[in-house]
Amino acid sequence: MVDEARRNFPHLRFITADVLTAELGEQFDVICGTAVLHEIDYQDTPRLLDFFERHLAPDGFGWFHENSFFNPVFRFVRQRLIGRYGIPKYGSTEESPFDPERFRMYQKRFRFCERSAEVFVLFQRIHLYLIRTGSDKPYQRLDQWITRLGVPDILKRNVSYIQHIYFSRSVPKSRVLSEPQ
C-alpha cells in the first residue's frame, strides 16, 4: 500500500515504522491511516496516544478510517460467528476492533475527538461475511441508497460497519474536514 501511495503521491513523504516505538523527531499536521487503530490492543493504546501527542503539530489532527465495534449486531457476529460455521475472518489475528472504551481514551487525551460515519456500510458487509454468493452490487446499492436518504448521523455511527475517528488538541473537525454533500 505504501509503494502504491508513493507512486500516486510523489510529493508526499511516507514513513513506515512501528507506531508504538517510533521516534520520528518531528511533528506533523496530519496523521492518518486505514484499519490501523484496531490493530493496537487495549493495553497498548496509551502508548499509541503518546505517539500521537508527540508527533502531532499543535494545530494538527488525526484522521482514521476504521471498522466499527459500536454496532451491537457486528459485535455479536465478530465475537460469536466470525471464524466459525464457515464464516471467514478477514482481519489479522491481532485485530481487536476499535470499541467505546478505547474511544474514551482518545476523548480524554484530545480536546476535539469525534467519530462519524459519512457513508452507510452495512449490507455489503453482511454479504461479504454471511451470504457470499453472486455479486455484492445490489448490497452496495442498498447501502448507497440509505446513505443518500440522509440517515441521521447517530444511526450511521452506531449501525454502519465503517467509522472515521478524528482527534486534535486544538482544531475542531468542522474547521478542517467538511462532510460530503
- 92 pLDDT band, cuts 50/70/90, is low
Q: Global pTM?
A: 0.76
- The 10s digit of each residue's pLDDT in 111-165 is 999 988 777 777 777 777 677 778 888 888 888 888 788 777 777 777 777 888 9
**Ramachandran quadrant class, 106 (left: phi over 0; alpha: psi -120 to 50; beta: rest):** alpha
The Cα 158–Cα 75 span in angstroms is 11
Q: Is residue 107 part of a domain?
A: yes
Q: Is residue 147 part of a domain?
A: no
Of residues 129 and 80, more confidence is placed in 80
CATH of the domain at 18: 3.40.50.150
Q: Is residue 142 part of a domain?
A: no
Q: Is residue 57 part of a domain?
A: yes
Q: Is residue 61 part of a domain?
A: yes
Residue 86 has φ and ψ, to the nearest 5°, of: 80, 10
Of residues 179 and 24, more confidence is placed in 24
**pLDDT for 181:** 42
How many domains in the chain?
1
Q: Is residue 168 part of a domain?
A: yes
Q: Is residue 8 part of a domain?
A: yes
Q: Is residue 136 part of a domain?
A: no
Domain that holds residue 78: 2-122+153-174
Three-class DSSP labels, the chain: CHHHHHHHCCCCCCCCCCCCCCCCCCCEEEEEEECCHHHCCHHHHHHHHHHHHHHEEEEEEEEEEEECCCCHHHHHHHHHHCCCCCCCCCCCCCCCCCCHHHHHHHHHHCCEEEEECCCCCCHHHHHHHHHCCCCCHHHHHHHHHHHHCCCCHHHHHHHCCEEEEEEECCCCHHHHCCCCC
**pLDDT for 97:** 67
